[in-house]
Amino acid sequence: MDTIATTEMDDNLLEVIARSLPNLRKSDRRVAEAILAEPSKMIEMTLAELARTAEVSEPTVIRFCSAIGCDGFRDMRVKLARSLAFARTTSHSAISTDDHLGAIIGKIFDFNLSNLNWVRSKLDPSAIATAVAALSKAKRIEFFGFGASAIVARDAQQKFPLFGVPCGAPTDGHQMFMTAAMLQAGDVAVAISNTGQTREVIQATRLARERGATTIGITGMDSPLLRYCDIGIVAETLENTDLYTPTISRLSAMVIIDILSTAVSLAQDDRHRERVADMKRHLAEMRMLGHY
């Protein structure tokens, strides 16, 4: 694990400009203000035009560029364009309530993105590797999830074409228990629980293991569930304030399922992948035509 997608900041020039506004020379500030006022228009402008708009001379614009740490006007424009890609669409209608909403939107995205990044950095590739190996050999896969995690289990189950073997996701406790009881060597049980403390899931997992199935646990922290798992995948998320619903735990679990299913699918032979592609094509047609 070496790549870390820096979510933002280092190339957010607009931010840099806004922050350095007070330290700028008078004329430079004029330029800064002109840019901040309508950034999207600025990137279409030429140096001379920008100078005219900001009512300063051309060299001033260039000096402004180096003042904010850019290597000339060209570089500034490129950095600005990058930064602009992140800028929210705050074009018009800035009502106060709307403004508040904007903050909520921003925070929730930020929260989920940075958490996903965190999960990635903490993820143990070797656990994934072992899990992929186990899943690739499985004759049958059952996903155990309860409550919020049931959604993830169902998501996983829907990816059965990628896994290439029958997949199940029993939802209620009894079904889960019965399913676990019917597993045997060669089968794999994937237990999903953010807290890792959900009784139903733990019991089902223990039983599945007793029956000889390989057990994989996907959880948000080190927890009781992992005691009954041959392979533990921990999707460690950052601390969670009360305001945020723990959507992130589901998101990260789903990304892990995405990784597992993709990796398993890639491990299979070409014919299998052809069948998957074929299936997708048919699904698309089916949707379009509107009948089954």
Partner DNA sequence: TATTTTTATGTATTTTTACTACATAAATGG
Partner DNA sequence: CCATTTATGTAGTAAAAATACATAAAAATA
90 lines the binding site for a second copy (CB under 8 A): yes
For residues 56 and 150, which CB has a smaller minimum distance to DNA in the complex? 56
Return the one option of DNA, a second copy, none that residue 7 interacts with (CB less than 5 to 8 A, by type). a second copy
Location of structure tokens 């001033």:
60
175 lines the binding site for a second copy (CB under 8 A): no
**Closest to 263 (Cα-Cα) out of 137, 162, 178, 177:** 162
Q: Which of 154, 174, 275, 282 binds a second copy (CB under 8 A)?
A: 154
Compute φ and ψ for 167, nearest 5 degrees.
Answer: -125, 145
Return the one option of a second copy, DNA, none that residue 185 interacts with (CB less than 5 to 8 A, by type). none
For residues 62 and 276, which CB has a smaller minimum distance to DNA in the complex? 62
For residues 33 and 75, which CB has a smaller minimum distance to DNA in the complex? 75
Taking the complex as a whole, how short is the minimal distance between the CB of residue 190 and a second copy, in angstroms? Answer: 16
Q: Which of 62, 78, 128, 151 binds DNA (CB under 7 A)?
A: 62
Tell me how many degrees the CA angle 137-143-149 measures, rounded to the nearest 5: 145
58 lines the binding site for DNA (CB under 7 A): yes
126 lines the binding site for a second copy (CB under 8 A): yes
User: Hey, how many other C-beta atoms are within 10 angstroms of the C-beta on 167?
Assistant: 23
Range in contact with DNA (rule: CB under 7 A) among 4-12, 20-28, 167-175, 211-219: 20-28
Report in angstroms the alpha-carbon separations of 150 from 10, 201, 221, 256: 38, 10, 18, 15
For residues 62 and 84, which CB has a smaller minimum distance to a second copy in the complex? 84
SS3 214: strand
- For residue 53, the one-letter residue type is T
CB 24 within 8 A of CB 47: no
For residues 80 and 153, which CB has a smaller minimum distance to DNA in the complex? 80
| H helix runs in 38-142, sequence order | 39-42, 47-54, 58-67, 72-86, 96-122, 125-137
Binders in 183-202 for a second copy, by CB under 8 A: 195, 197-199
